[in-house]
Structure 1
Amino acid sequence: MGVFTRTDEYTSPIPPDRLFKALVLDAHILIPELMPEAVKSIDNLKGSQLKSVINRVDDVDEENFVYAYTLVEGEPLVAEKLEYITYKARFEAASDGGSKNRLVSNYYTKGDVVLKEEEIKAGRERALGMYRVVEAYLLQNPDAYA
């Protein structure tokens, strides 16, 4: 088994506490409302279950705005290349009042499989798209999750 690690960093004008509340703590309510064409529901079963993905929640640190989870079943694993994927998101305050957000993804491959950047690009883009939808909602609704 090999491990491919990818680190992405994003900045946002939204403070980390608001992003964390919206993207992590209240995702099961907010995401299906904002993206009904993409997400029918999110059920918290000590993990988040989407239509074609099951994530296991590994850590929710509300004090430090850290969220860790593992993709254990679903579309990204179907290609028989991956055992599972772990993610760790950290939301930190930025000097401008917004936030610096970091997502570390570890892709655990089956056997000697080597992942190519383009193979994980679509998943990253979907995740960033959801992030941006929530960010836009929070910008348009400054009292939400305040």
Structure 2
Amino acid sequence: MGVTTYTDEYTSPIPPCRLFKALVLDADILVPKLMPDALKSIDTIQGDGRAGSIKQINFAEGGQIISVRNRVDEVDDENYVYNYTLIEGDASVMEKVEFISYEVKFEATPEGGSKNRMVSKYHTKGDIVLNDEDMISGREKALGMYKVVEAYLLQNPDVYNDT
């Protein structure tokens, strides 16, 4: 088994606490509501949503993928860290990989926004070597979701804001 690692970083004018609440803690409710053409639902099928839980992401009809399952590995509310592993998916998702682990961290910037980093580790089957095209679609979808949530938070400054 080989491992291919990609690191993506994004900056946002939204503080890390708001992004973390929207993209991690409340994603099961918020993201399908904001993106009904892409996601039908995110269901916790085992656990309470914290470490050890299994979540199933059900995609909208007509897409290439029907569903995937993620295992939540860590939810750190104080440091805005979320780690999870894609453990099951349609054949098109899992044909080349055993699993994909994700490490997500939201950090404050001096300007009041955030720097957000996602490290994706693709654990391939056998001696398969992944090329960029194999990962581009998933990375673009993750960025698209991030941008939709960011736009929602910009339009609704009181949502997920404890101050």
TM-score range, shorter chain: over 0.9
Match for residue 54 of structure 2?
47
Root mean square deviation of aligned Cα: 0.9
Partner of 2:78: 63
Give, in angstroms, the shift of residue 136 of structure 1: 0.2
The alignment partner of 1:119 has SS state of helix
* Offset from partner CA, 1:81-104 (integer Å, 9 cap, x none): 100000000000011100000000
Give per-residue Cα distances to partners, 1:113-133, cap 9 Å, x unaligned: 000011100100001000000
1:77 to 93, 110, 119: 93
Given that residues 77 and 83 in structure 1 are in contact (C-alpha distance below 8 angstroms), is that contact kept between their aligned partners in structure 2? no
Task: After TM superposition, give the deviation of residue 47 of structure 1 in Å.
Answer: 2.4
Name the CA distance, whole Å, in 2 between partners of 1:109 and 1:41: 27
Task: Tell me the SS of whatever aligns to 1:112.
Answer: coil
- The alignment's TM-score, normalised by the length of structure 2, stands at 0.86
Tell me, what secondary structure is at the counterpart of 2:5? strand
Equivalent residue runs for 1:1-146 within 5 Å? 1-44=1-44, 45=46, 46-51=53-58, 52-75=67-90, 77-78=93-94, 80-146=95-161
For 1:96 and 1:74, how far apart are their aligned partners in 2? 39
Give the structure-1-normalised TM-score: 0.96
Deviation, structure 1 residue 11? 0.2
Q: Is the 8 A contact 1:19 1:135 kept in 2?
A: yes
Q: CA deviation at 1:4?
A: 0.2
Q: Distance in 1 between matches of 2:32 and 2:112?
A: 28
How many residues align structurally?
Answer: 145
* Kept after mapping to 2: 8 A contact 1:77/1:84: no
1: distance between equivalents of 2:33 and 2:93?
A: 27
Structure 1: segments with no counterpart, 5+ residues: none
Cα distance per residue 1:31-87 (max 9 Å; x no partner): 111011111111123122112110100000000000000000113533x21000000
